[in-house]
Amino acid sequence: MRSWFNGARSVLLVGLPLAVLFAASAFGDELRLAIGGYDTVAYFTDAKAVQGRPEFKYAWHDATWQFASAAHRDLFIADPEHYAAQFDGHCAMGVSYESGHKDTVDPEAWTIVNGRLFVNHDMHWRDEWRKNAATNISRADANWATVKNTPEPN
């Protein structure tokens, strides 16, 4: 009887962390990965899209932001409002279009305007957005108050 109890206890202790992990996923406790894991600071420092690394991450605005280095992570932590992609890394054109919506982004479809980083769903929408950037920024800024509270895109 005693050996069965010890075996059952071992299975329970091993299985418990997995159950907690799956329960957290089922209830949506995981933060989304902003900009597909790309380093938002690199757009400013390197003038290009650079893949972030999981060991250099920071949670901000209900998202996980990844960075190519600890130095970039630290720059972000010191001033996230400056370095973060606008609209928490959602598609700038999607937020500006009509009453706005959240959409996924292509990390290569980016633009910096007046020191603000904007990412778009793909190169086509980046180019369309750029044709009237000032109006699109104004409209997106106005829409964001409502859009930020909508569900994440699939």
Q: Which domain holds residue 18?
A: 1-28
* pTM of structure: 0.80
Share of the chain above pLDDT 90, in %: 79
Residue 26's pLDDT is 38
User: Taking the C-alpha atoms of 79, 37, 137 and 75 in order, what is their torsion angle to the nearest 10 degrees?
Assistant: 10
Q: Is residue 121 part of a domain?
A: yes
Higher pLDDT, 37 or 12: 37
> Is the residue at 109 inside a domain?
yes
Section 140-152 average pLDDT: 95
Report the pLDDT value the prediction gives residue 110, as an integer from 0 to 100: 98
Mean pLDDT calculated for residue range 40-69: 97
Higher local confidence (pLDDT), 57 or 9: 57
- Asked whether residue 103 falls in the same domain as residue 142, the answer is yes
| Shared-domain flag, residues 128 and 92 | yes
- The answer to whether residues 135 and 104 belong to one domain is yes
* Token pair in block for residue 110: 């980016």
CA distance 94 to 101: 5
Residues 89 and 143 occupy one common structural domain: yes
Q: Give the confidence band of 153 by pLDDT, cuts at 50, 70, 90.
A: confident
**Is 35 found in the same domain as 22?**
no
Number of separate domains in the chain? 3
Tell me which amino acid residue 79 is.
Answer: D
Q: What pLDDT does 103 receive? A: 96
